[in-house]
């Protein structure tokens, strides 16, 4: 029997980057809007039958709009957390569990890609 544990990677070491399929911009108040083009057969049917938009607009909230530009394919989740802590202080707590959950949600919705950092 092996005493070796399967160690899962630390998500804080991962490096997120924007999905290049989507465009985004920031308004005067600093709020980020991500534009997601709705492609494919089912989306086309929904657009014709149910009046669905060809491009969905996802408006991020204050903290998400602060985080989004920091996602640059170079900074790790841990690095981004340091900026969030400096900017929002106690308002961001519990910082890392919330940040990891947020990054995973962005990844699950195909807005970003997350890769293991090259050490």
Among residues 15, 102, 27, which one has the least CA distance to residue 67?
102
What does the buried/exposed string (b/e) look like for 9-33 if buried means 16 or more CB atoms within 10 Å of the residue's CB? eebbebbbebeeebebeeeeeeebe
The terminus-to-terminus CA distance of the chain in angstroms comes to 31
Locate the domains of the chain by residue range.
11-114
Across residues 63-87, what is the average pLDDT? 98
- 7: pLDDT confidence band, cut at 50, 70 and 90? low
For 94-108, the pLDDT digits (tens) are: 999 999 999 999 999
CATH topology (fold) of 11-114: Outer Surface Protein A; domain 3 (3.90.930)
pLDDT at 9 over 80: no
Q: How much is the pLDDT for 77?
A: 97
């Amino acid at each position: 029997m092996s005493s070796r544990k399967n160690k899962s990677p630390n998500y804080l070491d991962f490096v997120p980057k924007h999905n290049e399929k989507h465009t985004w911009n920031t308004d005067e108040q600093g709020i980020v809007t991500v534009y997601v083009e709705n492609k494919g057969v089912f989306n086309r049917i929904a657009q014709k039958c149910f009046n669905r938009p060809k491009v969905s607009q996802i408006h991020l909230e204050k903290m998400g709009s602060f985080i989004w530009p920091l996602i640059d394919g170079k900074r790790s989740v841990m690095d981004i957390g340091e900026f969030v802590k400096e900017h929002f202080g106690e308002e961001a707590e519990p910082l890392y569990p919330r940040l990891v959950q947020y990054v995973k949600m962005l990844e699950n919705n195909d807005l970003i890609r997350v890769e293991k950092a090259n050490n």
